[in-house]
Amino acid sequence: MWPIFSILFGQIINTFRQDNKEKMVEEATRYCVIMIILGVSGFIMSPIARAPFILVAENRNVYFRKKVLESLLQQEPGWYETQNASEIATATNLACCHIKKAISNKTPDLLATSATAVYGIVGAYIYWGGT
């Protein structure tokens, strides 16, 4: 979305060069409406784009907790006498939080940043007539 905004900013600046004031205001208004539409669509689409990653993170979190519980239930009874129960619970919870953050926050950010960079380079190449 950001590369599109940069192109629109350039177009708005180009409209201020015109001698006809009415046409200048008309074109600037048109570009402003396009920018508002893009902003609102970005506001709406951002949570929709992140929702699948949040669902996958929750699913992986539940799966990981089940596997930890299964492995704890398979331990010998004497093992529990040497371990602190609160340390096990804290370590499990911390690991689950890290997994959840990695999947639900960092993955969509990485994809969005990569797509913006690729689109920005390709868009600049096409828009500014790279050869």
Tens digit of pLDDT for each residue in 12-31? Answer: 888 888 888 899 999 989 98
Number of domains in the chain: 1
> Could you tell me if 88 and 72 are in contact, meaning their C-beta atoms sit under 8 angstroms apart?
yes
Q: Residue 1 gets which letter from DSSP?
A: -
Residue among 111, 1, 107, 113 at smallest CA distance from 55: 107
The proportion of the chain whose per-residue pLDDT surpasses 90, expressed as a percent, equals: 27
User: What's the pLDDT at 82?
Assistant: 86
Task: Give the structural domain span for 22.
Answer: 2-127
Q: Contacts from 103-107 at CB under 8 Å and sequence distance 24+?
A: 103/53, 103/56, 103/57, 103/60, 104/50, 104/53, 104/54, 104/56, 104/57, 104/58, 107/53
Over residues 24-51, the pLDDT tens digits come to: 999 989 988 998 999 899 899 989 988 9
- Counted residue by residue, the chain has a size of 131
Res 78: pLDDT: 85
- Say how far apart CA 120 and CA 128 lie, in whole Å: 11
What integer pLDDT is reported at residue 58 of this predicted model? 92
On the question of pLDDT at 111 being above 80, the answer is yes
Residue among 64, 41, 54 at smallest CA distance from 105: 54
Instruction: Using CB atoms within 10 Å of the CB of residue 104, give its burial: 0 to 12 exposed, 13 to 18 middle, 19+ buried.
Output: buried
